Amino acid sequence: MARFRALATYPFRLVASGAKCVMSILKGVWGLFPWSQRKRMQREDEERQIAHNQYFVDHILRSAAAAPISRVLDEPLSESTSPLFSRIPPEIRRDILLHAFGEHTLHMDLGFQAPPKRVDEEPTDPDTTAHAGIESQEFEPSDDENGEWRWGGCVCHRSPPEENPLSLGRLRSDPLVRARGSHYTDGCLVGEAACPHWPGQWPVKCQVGIMGWLLSCRQAYLEGMEVLYGTNTIQVSCKLLLRGFPDLVSSTIMSHITSLKLVINPQNLTLQHVFIGHFDHIRSRQKSQKPLFPSLVYLHAWLTGPEYELLGMADADALMAASHNATNIYAPPELDTMILRLAPATATVTVTCPFTVWYREVLGDHYISQGKEWTEERESEYGGMEFWRQMPVEGQLPKTDEEWQEAKKNGRGFWIHRGLTQDAPLIREE
């Protein structure tokens, strides 16, 4: 009897399925016409994006003027100088500033958004951290009415403090570990972090807090700027700054940055356009041999993409395909060009990619081109394994053992690092 009912209803189900398929096709065809709702919304989005970009060019994107930064003024102190500068030696003053404002990873962000929602009291729920006093929230693109271009900056608390921290406030943890929105690459800028694990009073401990000191007097500004950019790790992940940083920050400040962390999605911004700027004089300046950040001691580039999934839970075939695709997009020669443009030869450069297949394929290629002896893996200070990539000189790698020894000592190269996969996060970027 049940079989008879199933056979009797089969024609109706077939008709319903066909009607649904026809409606889907008609809806898709209708969306191609210029007067359809889909096209109208697309035009409105394009017009809004053009208006946002023009406002950015007119009001934000202005070439920054260079100004000297020094720890101590050359001229003698006047009688009206504060006792802080006349009685306390410069080295002690610097230690005080270093304790207050140094040795951290600091976010630098710029975006078109509405004012963030603020929290007056520290949340009691540990899952609602309200990092830097920002209400934990999903990122939502702002409309024209309440949005404006806003700078963002805070201390990075994406993970608890480490027992043996790295120098200059560098963090070993995955910069994507606390992300859940579709815009930011970690949760600090949307109010999510591991703040309860960090010492200090909330929300002051989450904020950079140096602006008041910098504005107090000229000497405080000079000494504070040196500590701010010379003893912290500056982390940049938004596309606007990854491209237009040289337009928005003076060359003097760039020359004082000693540690830089970049979180890059090469599918949204190609490696050739990282820090290339928008103005012609920036591009012409980069043709010189001098790197953009001549004082860099550490450069850490974390590569990611929209296919970055929770390893071990994602579909294996999809993850494999995404990793093979990344092999072509994140080509080592393009990394060579970017590193030569940004960092001096003395800098320690590490490139991290979470695609395990990409790492293994590139490692295998280097076993063939460099030899196993010169491509031996080692444990990275960021956790996980890494191997050395020797940059070719005029397209050629060293041939003899003596040439390899000399290249390893004085030549250019960087470490290719495989990110930790045990606690890899689920992240989707647009």
Do 206 and 341 belong to one domain? Answer: no
Is 215 within a domain?
Answer: yes
Q: What is the pLDDT of residue 143?
A: 52
Domain end marker among 216, 233, 250: 233
What is the pLDDT at residue 44? Answer: 73
The band of 230, judged by pLDDT with boundaries at 50, 70 and 90, is very high
Predicted confidence at residue 369, as pLDDT, reads 85
Residue 222 to residues 70, 228, 249, 381: CA-CA distances in angstroms? 6, 10, 16, 33
Determine the structural domain holding residue 120 and report its residue range. 63-233
Asked whether 275 and 246 are in contact (CB, 8 A), the reply is yes
* Predicted local confidence at residue 12, as pLDDT: 62
Whether the pLDDT of residue 318 is over 80: the answer is no
Summarize the confidence of residues 334-338 as an average pLDDT.
Answer: 89
426 within some domain: yes
Same domain, 251 and 398: yes
How would residue 430 be classed by pLDDT, with cut points 50, 70 and 90?
very low
Please confirm whether the linkage preceding 160 is cis (ω < 30° from 0): no
- Specify the pLDDT at position 107: 94
d(CA 300, CA 183): 21
Q: Across the chain, what does the average pLDDT equal?
A: 76
Is 73 a residue whose pLDDT tops 50? no
Same domain as 224, residue 271: no
Average pLDDT of span 209-218: 86
- Per the model's pLDDT, the better-predicted residue between 63 and 16 turns out to be 16
Task: Report how many domains make up the chain.
Answer: 2
Check whether residue 229 and residue 247 sit in a common domain: no
Is residue 130 assigned to a domain?
yes
When pLDDT is cut at 50, 70 and 90, the band that residue 310 belongs to is very low
> Does residue 52 belong to any structural domain of this protein?
no
pLDDT reported for residue 424: 39
**Per the domain annotation, does 259 fall within a domain?**
yes
* Mean pLDDT, residues 124-131 taken together: 75
What is the C-alpha to C-alpha distance for residues 155 and 63, in angstroms, rounded to an integer? 26
Same domain, 110 and 250: no
Give per-residue pLDDT as tens, 175-196. 866 554 444 567 888 888 888 8
50: in domain: no
What are the phi and psi torsion angles at 262 (to 5°)?
-115, 130
* 384-407: b (≥16 Cβ within 10 Å) or e: bebbbbbbbeeeebbeeeeebeeb
- Same structural domain for residues 165 and 275? no
Q: Is residue 425 part of a domain?
A: yes
Distance CA(353)–CA(300), nearest Å, equals 11
Q: Do 224 and 297 share a domain, yes or no? A: no
Residue 250 reports pLDDT greater than 90 = no
Pair (243, 204) in one structural domain: no
Question: Given 170, 202, 233, which residue is the final one in a domain?
Answer: 233
- Any domain includes 2: no
Cα 258 to chain center, whole Å? 16
* Same domain (yes/no): 225, 245: no
Contacts of 296 (CB under 8 A, 6+ apart): 257, 258, 259, 260, 342, 343, 344, 347
Show which of 203, 233, 263 is a domain's final residue.
233
Q: Tell me the two tokens of residue 117.
A: 């929602």
280 plus 391 within the same structural domain:
yes
Do 209 and 73 fall into the same domain? yes
Query: Do 208 and 278 fall into the same domain?
Result: no
Separation between Cα atoms, residue 136 and residue 34, nearest integer Å: 39
